[in-house]
């Protein structure tokens, strides 16, 4: 039976496949074997494309043997969050509303991965329509953390993060609206990269918050995340929000330390409300960076405390608008007809049956803040605070190159522990402001802590100005080299 050591990191696997030292088909078989053994418990995947993935692996092996050029991700098994459109299988957003929907097109980021000879191994489960911070709001059942199946993997990219941590893929795509890449990566001991808004095309991503959503990789290392970003980033004329900016080639410079790196440590990030192990991990990271030659700069981000309230006005407002199309007539689940009911009643029943409780909650919040008489008091004011948050980051980045802090205030919590929606929302207190401001951020493993007999991952977050992914990834690699990684989860 294959062991953990047989599952190479993405960059190692691609190099071995491209040189003919390793078979792409055998790499697929190794991943499929792990999915068969472990995913009955973890429930990372909604669909697995075994036959198609094996065929793609055989074709890559044939091209390598014949001396043909292969792409920069040749043979890499990629898991795709199920809110990204794929021609293979269904695109359900883990919702009964889209349970049977098959996309006639493919998301740009998926197209680019396949063009680079990556192999789509399957679609991963998520909190319904990407609304959640735990992986408990999936229509197909709770997703579990491979470090301790009694605990959540984080959300909303729950299946993607858990699959990477358990070795059920080499890398995964997630989406980040308020922390949905970084927070589950933190809970599962992975690297989770949220690119700047506009860096990666949103074409084919089922929209939650259109001014916030961004696609990015979840990987086992900073190098792996940077390889995927190089492939999926760049302008896309089908997405009016994608930036017309060149994509940095990071491969040759990733290992170079950032000379004179200035690391901002916001006072607000070391809160007494955090788990003590989280604050200790941040302090260790600061000390490690300082020992590597960085300068630690104390900064203030007082608007950190209003990020959650700002986000939970803007994001639900945009969700209310985006999800209006799912009415059972144009798109989505349609309730069985009842004699004598009008169209409005059919809409209401279809949406009531198709959407889960958390999605309904956010639609109602969004509809309320956009309604007549409340628009100025809530939505317009939230947009004004959004501008202030962006300006606060701008001022901080005049004094430092990157910001260091926790990704989440606690390690992964037990399934069912956060029954109060507000408590759940506060899990994203350190991630939402990066989405609000459109800057880039990354979660990096920072060791483990023992809780109830299980070793749980800890993580820290680095944030950098918009479109400074090159700087962010080089600084992250500096930190990764001195902090180390936590490896694959001990799921069996």
What are the structural domain ranges in the chain? 4-260+414-427+441-460+467-483
Taking the complete model, does pTM exceed 0.75, yes or no? yes
Tokens at 75, concatenated? 């043979």
pLDDT at 441: 98
Report DSSP letters for 151-176, one per residue.
B---SSSHHHHHHHHTTSSSEEEEEE
Give percent helix, percent strand, percent coil of the chain, each to the nearest 5: 45, 15, 40
156 belongs to the catalytic site: yes
H/E stretch holding 465 reads none
Backbone dihedral angles phi then psi of residue 162, each to the nearest 5 degrees: -65, -35
Alpha carbons 309 and 124: distance in angstroms, whole number? 29
At 98, phi and psi to the nearest 5? -120, 30
Catalytic residue among 18, 180, 242, 443: 180
Q: Which CATH superfamily is domain 4-260+414-427+441-460+467-483 in?
A: Amidase signature (AS) domain (3.90.1300.10)
How many CB atoms neighbour CB 452 within 10 A? 9
Eight-state DSSP code of residue 200 = B
- Spatial separation of the C-alpha atoms in residues 54 and 479, rounded to whole Å: 36
Q: Which residue in 81, 95, 134, 194 is the catalytic one?
A: 81
Q: Fill in the DSSP letter of residue 248.
A: P
Is 180 an annotated catalytic residue?
yes
Axis crossing angle, helix 222-232 with helix 108-115, rounded to the nearest 10: 110
Distance CA 131, CA 154 (A): 11
What local confidence, expressed as pLDDT, does residue 492 receive? 62
The H or E element containing residue 88 is none
pLDDT at 248: 81
Give the CA diameter of the chain: 74
Helix (H) / strand (E) containing 472: helix 469-483
Q: What per-residue confidence (pLDDT) applies to 246?
A: 86
Active-site residue identified among 23, 103, 134, 156: 156
Residue with tokens 């950032």: 258
Element (H, E) at 483: helix 469-483
Distance CA 16, CA 8 (A): 9
Q: Is 59 exposed, middle or buried (0-12, 13-18, 19+ CB in 10 A)?
A: middle
What stretches in the chain show pLDDT beneath 50? 1
**pLDDT at site 5:** 62
What pLDDT, on a 0 to 100 scale, did the predictor assign at position 3? 59
């Amino acid at each position: 039976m294959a062991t953990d050591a047989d599952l190479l990191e993405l960059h190692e696997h691609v190099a071995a496949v491209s040189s003919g030292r390793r078979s792409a088909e055998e790499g697929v078989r190794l991943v499929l074997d792990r999915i068969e053994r472990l995913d009955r418990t973890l429930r990372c995947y909604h669909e697995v494309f075994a036959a198609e993935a094996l065929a793609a692996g055989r074709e890559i092996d044939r091209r390598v043997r014949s001396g043909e050029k292969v792409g920069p991700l040749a043979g890499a098994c990629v898991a795709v969050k199920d809110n990204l459109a794929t021609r293979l299988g269904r695109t359900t957003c883990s919702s009964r509303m889209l349970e049977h929907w098959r996309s006639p097109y493919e998301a740009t980021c998926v197209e680019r991965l396949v063009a680079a000879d990556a192999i789509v191994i399957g679609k991963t489960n998520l909190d319904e329509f990407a609304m959640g911070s735990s992986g408990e709001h999936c229509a197909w059942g709770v997703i579990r953390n491979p470090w301790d199946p009694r605990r959540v993997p984080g959300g909303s990219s729950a299946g993607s993060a858990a699959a990477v941590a358990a070795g059920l893929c080499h890398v995964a795509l997630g989406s980040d609206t308020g922390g949905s890449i970084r927070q589950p990566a933190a809970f599962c001991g992975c690297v989770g990269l949220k690119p700047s808004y506009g860096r990666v095309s949103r074409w084919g991503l089922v929209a939650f918050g259109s001014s916030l959503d961004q696609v990015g990789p979840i990987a086992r290392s900073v190098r792996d995340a940077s390889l995927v970003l190089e492939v999926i980033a760049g302008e896309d004329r089908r997405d009016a929000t994608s930036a017309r900016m060149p994509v940095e080639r990071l491969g040759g410079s990733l290992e170079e330390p950032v000379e004179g790196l200035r690391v901002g440590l916001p006072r607000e990030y070391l809160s007494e409300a955090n788990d003590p192990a989280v604050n200790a991990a941040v302090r260790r990271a600061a000390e490690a960076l300082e020992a590597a030659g960085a300068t630690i700069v104390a900064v203030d981000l007082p608007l950190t405390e209003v990020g959650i309230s700002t986000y939970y006005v803007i994001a639900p407002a945009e969700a209310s608008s985006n999800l209006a199309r799912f009415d059972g007539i144009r798109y989505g689940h349609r309730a069985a007809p009842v004699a004598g009911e009008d169209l409005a009643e059919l809409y209401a029943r279809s949406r009531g049956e198709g959407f889960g409780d958390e999605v309904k909650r956010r639609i109602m919040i969004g509809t309320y803040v956009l309604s007549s008489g409340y628009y100025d008091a809530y939505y317009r004011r939230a947009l004004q605070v959004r501008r202030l948050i962006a300006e606060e980051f701008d001022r901080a980045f005049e004094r430092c190159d990157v910001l260091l802090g926790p990704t989440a205030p606690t390690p992964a919590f037990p399934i069912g522990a956060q029954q109060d929606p507000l408590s759940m929302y506060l899990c994203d207190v350190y991630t939402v402001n990066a989405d609000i401001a459109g800057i880039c951020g990354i979660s990096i493993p920072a060791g483990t802590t023992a809780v109830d007999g299980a070793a749980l991952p800890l993580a820290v977050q680095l944030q950098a100005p918009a479109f400074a992914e090159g700087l962010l990834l080089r600084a992250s690699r500096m930190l990764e080299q001195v902090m180390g990684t936590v490896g694959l989860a001990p799921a069996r």
